[in-house]
């Protein structure tokens, strides 16, 4: 089992919002699917979609067996800007003078508060665990990350650490997010929960399964990751740190 620890210098921060809701609140940290999508860019550059069975979806779906988590190594703050967004897909079956709102240009756009984590020159650390990529592939793809989330969320890879991930269980300390089903031994007051998705989110139009994650964070100002102690059944030692998946 290999791991890659990628140190990402944020240009201004990042904005990763829930695509299924009209309200564009942002996540405090990039979901695993976003991190794997960023990793896939080097291998699938120029491809926006690939064939997945009888459907289409993100090329990141092809990176089967890659797991990811992240932490904010620097300080940041959560803010919301007013942004003009396309909202006609949220109009439902309502009509205006006999014309469905979804088809009426009058209801195509709206001004929506959109969240982001603002951390100029900040540092985000992403960890990838895989048994399907070679060391050379993993290293090249890690150095090939250019953004996290939307196209404006540019990052610069400052360092990549590649090594053998040692599987361990028991009580460990971690500052990376983990599934909320993991028992927290110490530091529960610093944990906030949020909902991410499984890999089916990569397939266009497919129903996804929500997964609740625990984020060890100070969510007041300043926003930053903190270390908590958990009882893990599946964790990996990556360098001098631990990442937890169960």
Opening angle at CA 114, ends 108 and 118, nearest 5: 150
Sorted by where each begins, the domain ranges of the chain are 2-244
Question: Considering only CA atoms, which of 13, 242, 222 is closest in space to residue 116?
Answer: 13
CATH 3.30.70.3120 fits 2-244, yes or no: yes
Strands 13-14 and 224-225: unpaired
Residue tagged 């290293």 (tokens): 139
Opening angle at CA 244, ends 242 and 245, nearest 5: 150
Determine the pLDDT at residue 193. 96
Tokens of 187: 């530091």
Residue tagged 């090939």 (tokens): 144
Determine the pLDDT at residue 185. 97
Residue tagged 């439902």 (tokens): 92
Signed CA dihedral, 199, 201, 206, 209: sign only: positive
Opening angle at CA 18, ends 212 and 20, nearest 5: 105
Segments of the chain scoring below 70 in pLDDT:
20
- The H or E element that residue 134 is part of is none
Determine the pLDDT at residue 205. 74
The whole-angstrom separation of Cα 124 and Cα 71 is 6
Determine the pLDDT at residue 218. 93
């Amino acid at each position: 089992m290999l791991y890659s620890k990628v140190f990402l210098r944020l240009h201004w921060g990042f904005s990763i919002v829930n695509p299924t809701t009209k309200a564009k609140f942002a996540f405090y940290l990039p979901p695993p699917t976003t991190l794997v999508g960023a990793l896939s860019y080097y291998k699938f550059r120029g491809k926006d979609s690939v064939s997945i069975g009888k459907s289409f979806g993100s090329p990141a779906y092809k990176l089967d067996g890659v797991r990811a988590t992240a932490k904010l190594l620097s300080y940041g703050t959560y803010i919301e800007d007013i942004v003009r967004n396309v909202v006609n897909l949220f109009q439902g079956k309502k009509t205006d003078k006999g014309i469905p709102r979804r088809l009426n240009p009058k209801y195509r756009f709206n001004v929506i508060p959109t969240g982001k984590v603002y951390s100029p020159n900040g540092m985000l650390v992403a960890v990838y665990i895989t048994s399907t990529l070679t060391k050379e592939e993993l290293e090249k793809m890690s150095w090939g990350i250019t953004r996290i989330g939307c196209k404006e969320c540019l990052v610069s890879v400052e360092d990549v650490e590649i090594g053998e991930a040692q599987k361990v269980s028991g009580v460990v300390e971690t500052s990376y997010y983990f599934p909320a089903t993991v028992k927290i031994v110490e530091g529960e007051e610093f944990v906030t929960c949020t909902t991410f998705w499984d890999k089916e989110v990569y397939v266009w139009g497919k129903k996804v399964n929500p997964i609740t994650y625990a984020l060890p964070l100070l969510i007041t100002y300043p926003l930053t990751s903190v270390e908590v102690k958990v009882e893990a059944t599946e964790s990996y030692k990556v360098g001098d740190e631990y990442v937890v998946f169960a």
